[in-house]
Homo-oligomer: A and B are copies of this chain.
Amino acid sequence: MVSIEDVARRAGVSPITASRVVRNQTNVAPATRERVLRAAAELNYIPNAVARGLRQARSGLLALIITDITSPFFADVARGAEDAAREAGVKLILGNSYDDPAFEADYLRSFGEHRVDGIVLVPTDHAGKTLRDGLPKKMPIVLLDRGVEGAAVDLVRCDTSAGTQTLCRHLLDLGHQRIAMVGGVASYPTWHERVSGYAAALSNAGLPLDQDLIVAGDYKADGGVAATRQLMALPAPPDAIVAANAQTVLGVLDELVRLRCRVPEDISVAAIDDPLPPSTFWARLTVIAQPGYEMGRAAIDLLFARLGDGSDRPVQELVFAANLLVGVSCGEGIGKRVI
C-alpha cells in the first residue's frame, strides 16, 4: 500500500507538504503542489482515512440505529440521513436493532469502539440503561422517533398525537361512530401518543372511549391481523380501523380480505406513517404521513451542530407534523373500492 511518504519521496518534498496538498491546504507553492499531485497520481495514492482518523480523533463516520430497514418509514429515515451525511462528506454505518435491547446495546458499544463521530438512535431500551454504559463520554447522540426516560439528549420526533387526532376527526366528519385504534407496541411512547390523539378526537366529539376498540400489537402485519380478527368478532364491530403504522395496515387489509369485508363499503381503513408519495397507488389509503426523510436529515444536522460547538448548547427537541393524505379508503370517494 502506497503511503504519503512514498508520494513525498517521489515529489522530493517532506511528508507534511504532501499531506497539505492532499488536504487542499492553501499554503503550498503552485509548482510544489503540481509535483505532489503528479506523484500521487503516478503512484495511485489513496489516502488512509483510518490513520487520519486516529491522528485527528475524528473517524468521519456516523451511525444510524433503527429497528428495521425494511420498514418503509425507517427506510425513508435512512435515506434522509444518508443524503445529509453524504453532503457533509461523512459516511453512515447502519444497524438494525429489531426492537431488541441486546442488539441495541451491542451496536452502541461497537460503534463507540469504532469511534464514530456521532449516533442517531431509534431507542428500543426506553429505560436508557444502554445509553449511559459502554459509550465514550461526549459521543454525541440524537434520538429519533421516540425519547428515553431521563435522557438529556436531542430528540427528533413527529407529533403523531396531533396527527392521529386530525385523522380521527377526518373519520368522524365522514360519519364514522365506532373507530378502532390498533397495532402499536404497548410499551412504546409512540403508541401512547397515538392513542392519546385518538382519545382526544373522540372526546372532542362527545363520544365515549370504548376500551374494546383499542388493541395494541407489534407494529407489524401480524398484529394487524390479530387485532382485526378480534375487532370484527365483537358484538358491535367498528366501522373504521386506524392502523398504527404501515406494516400493521397490511395485516388489517389482509384479514379484512379473508373476512370478505370490502373497503370502504363495509368498513373504513386508515393508517399512520405511510411514507410513499401521494402519487402512488398507496395514497388511495387515507393516511397520516410522517416525514421520515426530513426527520432523518434533521437528525444528522443536529448531530453536526453538536459536533461544532461541543456539548454546551442546550438540549433540543425537534417536532415534525404529520400530514393528512386523504385517499378513498374511508368512503371519501363514492363508488371507488379499495379492496
Contact = CB atoms under 8 A, between A and B. Distances in A.
Interface residues of A, number: 60
Contacts of A75: 69-70, 75
A60 B51 CA distance: 14
A46 B113 contact: yes
A278 B53 CA distance: 46
Residue from A57, A94, A253 having most chain B Cβ neighbours under 10 A: A94
A9 interface: no
B79 A70 contact: yes
A339 B339 CA distance: 6
Given A93-B94, A221-B277, 15 more contacts: A49-B115, A54-B54, A61-B93, A70-B79, A70-B275, A82-B94, A91-B93, A91-B114, A221-B280, A225-B279, A250-B281, A251-B280, A251-B281, A254-B280, A257-B284
Contact of A339 (B68, B91, B93, B337): B337
A32 interface: no
Contacts of A114: 49-50, 60-61, 91
Contact of A94 (B76, B94, B103, B135): B94
A225 B338 CA distance: 19
A90 to B, nearest CB: 10
